[in-house]
Chains A and B, each alone.
Chain A
């Protein structure tokens, strides 16, 4: 998967956020494993995946945190988006309420997250056109106004799934040029970061 012979591998922490049932886990499973099931078990807590993606002669290795979507689990989210290089915020195009929730996540990231976090907005379930409640136009406008990039995706048909992650990787590389010898801290993990950050666990 990773470009062989590539000399630059960057680890990048990526978090998926969004309301319950919008398809966060399905997107990740489609992307990482090429699988899709109609009834994906609810995510309890969070799940971790990794996937490398080659962009030209560089490789980004995503460390993906797939989070539980229900509002009640909100308090567990900061430890996953804290220090994230990228966030994919997911809503369901057939459910207007999930779009409103996505906007809230954007606000929260803008307020609490790192200012350099690349944010992508995914309008998932794009195969269910007849049930659409959120127009692509509206989402696109919102994304542009808020500095996100936007794609409609379908974990079921695989439309735009690889693309949204690829585009994220591309932007990460653009935003963090290679001349910095230490590299940017993309992953926020100990090998790259002093252990003081260890205190940043969720269970204080």
Chain B
């Protein structure tokens, strides 16, 4: 419950000028399932709307997260997209996940660069959304039963040692 806060930091790289979308402006809303005690996988979802200064709408977007390519899914509202994926609980890390968004052109350029074993990082993404994972709740650190047992052992040890000191 404590981890339900929406964590979004948006970074916009505006230096990229493409024919399709100029000066993209991204406003994103993200949600990460924080309570792993009832889940088998962790879901990362982010919904964002893309606004281009030249008013271009309805372009296909592709996202890349940690080397994974995901197509951005278009939502019912105009220029709204969603990028979502699930990860194993063991492989998720807390910290920033940066979602790089590409349009069709730059995405194909990236594919080409990978195919030709060139450095794909030379192609600048349209925008970057940073998703902060504050950490996944995996359940309490120690069980309360365990704590109680520990406490009981401590109390009895104190009592016995006091008794033996008394009798010595």
B partners with A: no
User: Which A residues have a C-beta under 8 Å from some C-beta of B?
Assistant: none
User: Which B residues have a C-beta under 8 Å from some C-beta of A?
Assistant: none
